[in-house]
Amino acid sequence: MSRAGRSWLVSEAAEGEPSVPFSTTSSGLRPTNHTGPPSIRDISLQEAIHYSYVLRWLRNLWRKRLTPLGRMCLILMVFFGLSGSVSLAMPLYIPWGFLLVLLAVSRLTSMRAISSVQITRHPIAPASAGQQLSYDIEVTNTSHRTLYELEVTEWYLPFSMTTPEGWDYPRITQLGPGESVKVRMKLVCTKRGSYTLPQMAVMSAFPMGVWRGLVRQRQETSFLVYPSFKPMLSFAVPHSRQFQPGGILLSSQVGDSSEFMHTREYRDGDNPRHIHWASWARQNKPIIKVYQEEYFVRLALLLDSEWTDRKHDAPFEAGISLAAGIADVLSRQEYIIDIFAAGEQIHHFQAGRALAHLDHILEILSCISAAPAINWEMLSASLVPQTSQFSSIVLVFLNWDEPRKQLIEKLHSLGVSPRVFLVREDAPTLSFPSDSRGYVWVLPTEDFSLLPAFGGLQADALDAAS
């Protein structure tokens, strides 16, 4: 999911501006984007500091541009300046002026020492939230002189992304003319979603060690962070094999076709499109191709995305993690999985039987964003007509109210066996039947890998019953 944008060198004048948000995905969902500032009503104090241009410029000046020696010089300059403004008895303007000249000369010499560098970021492979992202950055010396003491860094990181604890940005001691070196970059992201890294930078404090010269290069690289989940060893759902119009090939690719079995002579009423022309030419009579319709297990996974409390989104994220764990264990079996993301718009995706593997499912789940309400009329129009083809439906709800209760009752009336999970900390709108078979109430902090033991459902018994 990574893409490298157009690259060009950036001057020192504009430091730390945010990147252009990554607006679309292959799945068509509006992604959970963490490259730009959120709504001012939902923003926290830490996020306000992070997205403030002035505060970010001051932070980069203190942490990145000044070396420890440079910070000491700056502190002494402030001290001498304040002391000299109070009394003229001591000529403190002399050390103040010396430090000012030292900083100015250090900035000029460090910029000249690093002026010709080409930086290229390699594609970033997706990782789960909380795991480490590792990728390569290639640094090339395009000048005719040797460069010393280079430090490679990402100039602007999204709010929920940081470097691993105790890890420092990679350094290059020496880089000869025309030489290229690859360094390994490591980042940690705490939230799922789509991200864009806008700029890379190479810094060097050579030769004076006071001010780090800077060359920034813009290259927008987008990637996904999957929701975190613990793999389940098994997951029991009541299911039976259902007839699927179009057969197995229809479930594996676009097209209207069943599994080819054999040929026979043409009969009145056969579809002329199924004529086997090669056999007709050999036998001098019309021959028809015979297809066998397929019966197999097709499951639906419905994810409730109605959530309005952005500052406390732990239940919503836990619901997505639960859905990812369920999809993971089901994708390892011979099931077709239909994923429904229920919000103001209903998104429907199909996976399994070679149509899409787990990575595609995780890409979908990583881009789902919370919605203020669910369009129940649209959900029923999308889900109910296909219930005859579903062996079972797994529903992950964030609340239990009258519309959700009516949906479950309607599924029961259509002969579908739903399994309902409620992910919530406080009491739902209506009383949830957690003691009933197929209904499970889990807390956002629970270990979802133990879910097969919940609700008294055993996989062997269910398979025998089906």
Residue-wise DSSP of 182-247: EEEEEEEESS-EEEEEEEEEEEE-TTTSSB-EEEEEEEEEEEEEEPP-PPPS--------EEETTH
In a domain, residue 254? The reply is no
d(CA 212, CA 307): 46
The pLDDT, as a whole number, for residue 312 is 85
**Domain limit, last residue, from 272, 292, 312:** 292
Same domain, 133 and 158: yes
Residue listed under structure tokens 């050390």:
95
β 132-141/117-121 pair status: antiparallel
Q: What is the pTM of this model?
A: 0.72
314 inside domain: yes
Nearest 5°: the CA angle 157, 159, 160 is 100
Which of 226, 243, 271 terminates a domain? The answer is 226
Q: How many CA atoms lie within 13 A of 50 on its CB side?
A: 19
State whether 338 and 397 are in the same domain. yes
22 & 159 share domain: yes
d(CA 78, CA 81): 5
Asked if the structure places residue 218 within a domain, the reply is yes
178: in domain: yes
Number of structural domains the chain divides into: 3
Domain membership of residue 239 (yes or no) is no
Parts of the chain with a pLDDT under 70: 1-50, 87-89, 236-260, 292-296, 352-356, 449-466
Say what the pLDDT of residue 102 is.
92
Domain with 347 in it: what CATH number?
Answer: 3.40.50.410
Answer yes or no: is 237 within a domain.
no
- Asked if 319 contacts 420 with a C-beta cutoff of 8 angstroms, the reply is no
Q: Are 279 and 410 within one domain?
A: no
271 and 379 inside one domain: no
Among 466, 432, 437, CA closest to 454: 437
Residue at token pair 């980042």: 187
| 361 and 263 fall within a common domain | no
| 219 and 271 assigned to the same domain | no
Structure tokens at 15: 């430091």
The predicted pLDDT at position 222 comes to 93
- CB contact at 8 A, 361 and 340: no
Q: Is 176 exposed, middle or buried (0-12, 13-18, 19+ CB in 10 A)?
A: exposed
Give the CATH number of the domain where residue 182 resides: 2.60.40.10
d(Cα 145, Cα 450) in Å, to the nearest integer?
61
Same domain, 120 and 50: yes
- Assess if residue 95 is contained within a domain: yes
* Residue 308: both structure tokens together: 């309005």
Distance CA 9, CA 201 (A): 10
Same domain, 411 and 347: yes
Give yes or no for a contact between 278 and 286, defined as CB atoms under 8 angstroms apart.
no
- Final residue of a structural domain among 271, 292, 313: 292
Q: Cis omega before residue 428 (within 30°)?
A: no
Domain region containing 91: 8-226
For CA atoms 176, 120, 52, 316, give the dihedral sign: negative
Q: What are phi and psi of 386, to 5 degrees?
A: -100, 0
Give the pLDDT score at 313. 86
Q: Are residues 132 and 52 in the same domain?
A: yes
**Would you say residue 183 lies in a domain?**
yes
Same domain, yes or no: 438 and 308: yes
Q: Please tell me the distance from the alpha carbon of residue 145 to that of residue 113, in angstroms, as a whole number.
A: 9
**Residue 184 and residue 203 share a domain:** yes
